[in-house]
Amino acid sequence: MSSVPEREEIDPEYRWDIEDVYASDEEWEAAYESIAGRVDQLREYEGRATDDPETLLQLLELREEIMREVATVAVYARLRSAEDTTNGTYQAMAAKGSSLRSEASSAISYLEPELQELTERDLEAFLEAEPELEAYDHYLRDVLRMKPHTRSAEVEEVLADLSEVTSAPSEIYSMLTNADMSFGTVEGPDGEPVEITQANFTKLQTKPDREFRRTVHETFYDEWADVRNTVGTSLEKAVREHVTSAEIRGYETARAAALDGPNVPTEVYDTLVDTVRDEIDALHRHAELKRSALGVDELRSHDLYMSLTGEEGPDVEYEQAAEWVKEAVEPLGEPYRERMAEGLESRWVDVYENEGKRSGAFSSGTYDTQPFILMNYQDDIASMFTLAHELGHSMHSELAGDAQPWHDASYDIFVAEIASTVNETLLTHHLLETLEDDELRTHVLDEYLERFRSTLFRQTMFADFEHRIHGRIEDDEALTPDVLDELYGGIKREFYEPATLEGGIEREWERIPHFYYDFYVYQYSTGIAAAAAIVDRILEEGEPAADDYRDMLAAGGSDYPLEVVRLAGIDMAEPEPIESAIGVYRSYLDEIETLLDL
């Protein structure tokens, strides 16, 4: 029987070195108590934050000191919680960490309203009188930019206090899907029972036995049918919170509010969706190639994840994957490669799935810790690409942390998804150029096409859906599970027009946690488009282009995302990077069609 091991059964070599942050949970508790006792120091400056430049500098330095410690305490608890979502002790620690963050945010919530009482002339005078404030120039000017959407100190404090409540739909969804739900057990092709999990569902959908795939697909989505009212209500409340928060801050739409934070024009979002829809025939061609490769009359829902090779790819063990990823990033320069290699050696990565572990993958950490990467590695090519992806995030954090002060090191997701996808694209290029095994090369090419499909096209499909469901709430229309099924199913069928979609696919929205993240997913699509253009530049121009790219990573959050990306020579305000990326996708479709004689 397929089973998931307990965490203690996994060799420590394959578990992240979280003890590097706190040696024990008891040490974490002491750190928590210490910093929790200092949060009220932030309130002592309320009403006088801008009395004079020296006072403002003192407050900004105190804020950094406290918030850095709060972040480390909260992240440690979150990581422990992710190790085992069924462990009540760690869930309690994560809740305490989240509450502490909320309390600290509330304690300093007066700062931006008070800063916004300054005029541009006042700010210039402050900067001239206190040279050390120059380090905060971007932050201070950005606060003034947001003045029309910032409320009084009292309202901002209330909103900060409510953050735990407003995040409830996402947290409830996470606990339901990671800790409480099970997704059934089915008979495998060999007659043995196979447990379906969130982590292995996609891999099971790549198994050659078509009847097995159908059974897995229907069993999985039948489980979601049993909780559709709960999940539907959770998502509706999350969307309503996004819309209400935007209204409170004086925005016309939730999307405008979400994109204004990083100062990304809504036209960038529309350009993405419109350009991808204009080029949707490329995705339709991919679907037709799958139908042809499988030798079936109709491509169905349970066929969408299948390889064009018609079979599972060869196993790629973790050690081999790590070696190939290290080789792939050599065009980014030896210091980049060495830093990443050192991270792999020092246990940045929590490698394998264990009982209760959070599904998926992420890169986390703080300004004062090493990166931590959660994986559910499955010994396959897809997992290798995920490793490359998360290492891109981690290296971004490392370079930005080295180059920027704390308040400018944190970068926006818009830029983050470029850093991760550059590593994936370089990995594809490296393997296609160096592997002599034609079978493996074909699987690598197919994997890139799959990741492109699921990143550019699928995430744009999600972005389209997300925009529409927020629009319904903004128009005072119902957003019930039936409406969600209808909206999602309609968009899914437009994107995958050559396929016959069934087996509960209209409920796929239930399994996408990113819909709780407030207009997050479009950045995966813009990220892969920018990454394709950056890699082309690096491979053509060599070190000068690699220098520009490293400058982009090192910039962190010291400027707005579109300006940061322009450091790498790419303008994401235009459709050309998206069109160029889809052009690469089309060329790879040509290549694999020839290789497989489809």
Report, as residue numbers or ranges, the catalytic residues: 390
Query: Cα–Cα distance between 549 and 46 in angstroms, integer?
Result: 41
Q: Which residue type does 497 have?
A: E
CA 71, chain centre distance (Å)? 19
Q: Which residue type does 359 have?
A: S
Residue with tokens 């009982």: 355
Query: Cα–Cα distance between 140 and 131 in angstroms, integer?
Result: 14
What are 483's two structure tokens?
Answer: 């409406």
CB 340 within 8 A of CB 395: yes
One-character DSSP codes across 131-190? GGGGGGHHHHHHHHHTGGG---HHHHHHHHHTHHHHTHHHHHHHHIIIII----EEE-TT
Residue with tokens 């960038």: 268
Q: Specify the pairing of strand 299-300 against strand 499-500.
A: parallel
Where residue 4 falls (left for φ over 0; alpha for ψ -120 to 50; beta otherwise) is: beta
Q: Which residue type does 325 have?
A: V
Q: Whole-angstrom distance between the N-terminal and C-terminal Cα of the chain?
A: 37
Q: Three-state DSSP class for 116?
A: coil
Query: Cα–Cα distance between 137 and 307 in angstroms, integer?
Result: 50
Q: Where are the beta strands (DSSP E) in 297-415?
A: 299-300, 349-350, 362-364, 372-374
Q: Specify the pairing of strand 185-187 against strand 193-195.
A: antiparallel
Element (H or E) spanning 126, and its range? helix 120-129
One-character DSSP codes across 498-526? TEE--TTGGGGGGG-GGGGSSS-THHHHH
Give ∠ CA 251-252-255 in degrees, rounded to 5: 80
> What backbone torsions phi and psi does residue 195 show, to the nearest 5 degrees?
-80, 130
Q: Which residue type does 336 have?
A: Y
Handedness of CA 468, 474, 480, 481 (dihedral sign): positive
What are 299's two structure tokens?
Answer: 């491509």
What are 4's two structure tokens?
Answer: 């998931």
Number of H helices, E strands in the chain: 27, 7
Query: Cα–Cα distance between 361 and 359 in angstroms, integer?
Result: 7
